[in-house]
Amino acid sequence: MNILAIESSCDETAAAIITGDPFASNSNSDTKKPQILSNIVVSQIDIFKAYGGVIPEVAARSHLEAILPVIHQAFRDAGFTKSNANSSSYSDDWSKIDAIAVTHTPGLLGSLLIGTLTARTLAILHGKPLYAIHHLKSHIYANWLNAENTPSFPLLALVISGGHTQIIRMTAHNNFEIIGTTLDDAVGECFDKVAKILGLPYPGGPSIANCAKKGDSQKYHLPIPNIKELDFSFSGLKTAVLRAVQKEVGVPISYPSHQLANLLTDQQKSDFAASFEKTATDILLKKLEKALATYPDTKSIVIAGGVSANQNLRASTVKKFNSPTDPTIFFPELKFSGDNAAMVGAAAFFEIKTKTEPTDPYSLNIFPRSDIQ
Ligand SMILES: Nc1ncnc2c1ncn2[C@@H]1O[C@H](COP(=O)(O)OP(=O)(O)OP(=O)(O)O)[C@@H](O)[C@H]1O
Ligand SMILES: [Mg+2]
pLDDT in tens, 40-79: 999 998 899 888 888 999 999 999 999 999 999 999 999 9
Does the residue 368 lie in any domain?
A: no
Question: Is the pLDDT at 28 greater than 60, yes or no?
Answer: no
DSSP alpha helices (H): ranges in 198-322?
Answer: 204-212, 235-249, 266-294, 311-320
Residues 302 and 178 occupy one common structural domain: yes
Strand partners, 311: none
Strand partners, 328: 300
**pLDDT for residue 211:** 98
Q: What is the pLDDT of residues 184-197, one digit of tens each?
A: 999 999 999 999 99
Residue nearest to atom 25 of ligand 1 (CA): 161
Residues 167 and 41 occupy one common structural domain: no
**pLDDT for residue 165:** 98
**pLDDT for residue 30:** 67
Are 316 and 173 contacting, i.e. CB atoms less than 8 angstroms apart?
no
Q: What is the pLDDT of residues 260-300, one digit of tens each?
A: 999 999 999 999 999 999 999 999 999 999 999 999 999 99
**332 C-alpha to ligand 1 centroid (Å):** 13
What is the DSSP code (8-state) at residue 77?
H
Does the residue 358 lie in any domain?
A: no
**Ligand 1, CB cutoff 6 Å, lining residues:** 9-10, 106-107, 135, 139, 161-164, 188-189, 191-192, 203-206, 209, 305-307, 309-310, 338-339
Residue nearest to atom 6 of ligand 1 (CA): 205
pLDDT tier at 312 (50, 70, 90 boundaries)? very high
Q: How far is CA 188 from CA 151, 232, 271, 310, in A?
A: 24, 13, 19, 11
- Which of 162, 146, 172, 139 shows the shortest CA–CA distance to 300? 172
Residues 129 and 202 occupy one common structural domain: no
Residues 324 and 343 occupy one common structural domain: no
Question: Is the pLDDT at 365 greater than 90, yes or no?
Answer: no
Pairing between strand 2-7 and 12-19?
antiparallel
- Which of 337, 343, 216 shows the shortest CA–CA distance to 267? 216
CA 333, CA 146: separation in Å to the nearest integer? 9
Angle among Cα 179, 293, 301 to the nearest 5 degrees reads: 65
Pairing between strand 165-170 and 177-181?
antiparallel
**164 C-alpha to ligand 2 centroid (Å):** 8
**pLDDT for residue 368:** 74
**7 C-alpha to ligand 1 centroid (Å):** 15
**102 C-alpha to ligand 2 centroid (Å):** 13
Number of H helices, E strands in the chain: 10, 12
pLDDT tier at 372 (50, 70, 90 boundaries)? confident
How many structural domains is the chain composed of?
2
CA 196, CA 11: separation in Å to the nearest integer? 19
**pLDDT for residue 27:** 61
What is the DSSP code (8-state) at residue 253?
T
Residues 342 and 313 occupy one common structural domain: no
Among the atoms of ligand 1, which is closest to the Cα of residue 12? 17
Does the residue 278 lie in any domain?
A: yes
Question: Is the pLDDT at 29 greater than 70, yes or no?
Answer: no
Residues 122 and 175 occupy one common structural domain: no
Residue 121: CA atoms inside 13 Å, Cβ hemisphere, count? 8
Among the atoms of ligand 1, which is closest to the Cα of residue 311? 1
End-to-end Cα distance, the chain: 25
CB atoms within 10 A of CB 56: 14
Residue nearest to atom 5 of ligand 1 (CA): 205
**Residue 117 is part of which domain span?**
2-147+337-353
Residue nearest to atom 27 of ligand 1 (CA): 163
Does the residue 137 lie in any domain?
A: yes
- Which of 155, 110, 179, 210 shows the shortest CA–CA distance to 327? 155
**Mean confidence (pLDDT) of the chain:** 95
Q: What is the pLDDT of residues 152-201, one digit of tens each?
A: 999 999 999 999 999 999 999 999 999 999 999 999 999 999 999 999 99
**pLDDT for residue 225:** 94
Is residue 18 within a helix (H) or strand (E), and if so which, with residue range?
strand 12-19
Does the residue 370 lie in any domain?
A: no
Query: Percent of the chain beyond pLDDT 90?
Result: 88
What is the DSSP code (8-state) at residue 106?
S
Question: Is the pLDDT at 311 greater than 60, yes or no?
Answer: yes
